[in-house]
Each structure stands twice: as structure tokens, then as C-alpha cells.
Amino acid sequence: MELGETFEETIQRELLEELSIYIEEIKLLHIFSGKKFYHEYPNGDQVNSVIAIYTAETYKGDIKVDHNEVKEARFFKLDSLPTERTKTTKNSLMHLNIDVNNRKTKTT
């Protein structure tokens, strides 16, 4: 996030820079923060992340990965998410009631 940017402006800029796409309409789904989003890097740096999750239905452009910050980009259905995930991704999915073990939406 650049100084003075909103979450929405950051999303648009990052998607354009890294994937060459533009999202027309984004909607805030949830903001995550707190102890479960603490991380210590191998060099000793410590961070408490604030993560804003947005949804989008459509985008404009053809996905072209920049290969600088992104290795590949693909879409997944909720019931077929990759099993290899970061701790932050696992915590986010748990909070969104997505069972990370069975890869199904929980009914509560």
C-alpha cells in the first residue's frame, strides 16, 4: 500500500501491475487483524498484519503474470482450493467459515 492510498486503490494498482487486469466492482468481505495474524520472518522482523478481503465478480483484460512478485495466477472454486496454504490464508479461511481440512463451506 502506497502512502495515501485506500484499500480499493491499492487493489486496482496491484492487479494492474502484477496481472494486467482491472476489476470494475469490488466489495469488502471482511477485515482481519489481531494475534492470529502475527508473523515473524526468518530475519527476525515481526508484523501484525491487517488484511482486507474483497470479492469481485468480473474483471477486464487478459491475465498476464509479471513474474516479479507473482509466479502464477489461477482461479479456484471453494471446494477445490489448493491444500498448500500459508498460516495467514488458513486463518482467513477459518474466519470465513471455510473448512480448511475438508475444503467445504461450513454450515453454522
Candidates 93, 98, 7; CA nearest to 106 is: 98
pLDDT in tens, 48-72: 989 898 988 899 999 999 888 888 8
pLDDT at 3 over 70: yes
pLDDT in tens, 78-101: 778 888 888 888 888 888 876 555
Distance CA 6, CA 18 (A): 18
Domain residue ranges of the chain, discontinuous segments joined by +: 1-33+50-75
pTM confidence score: 0.73
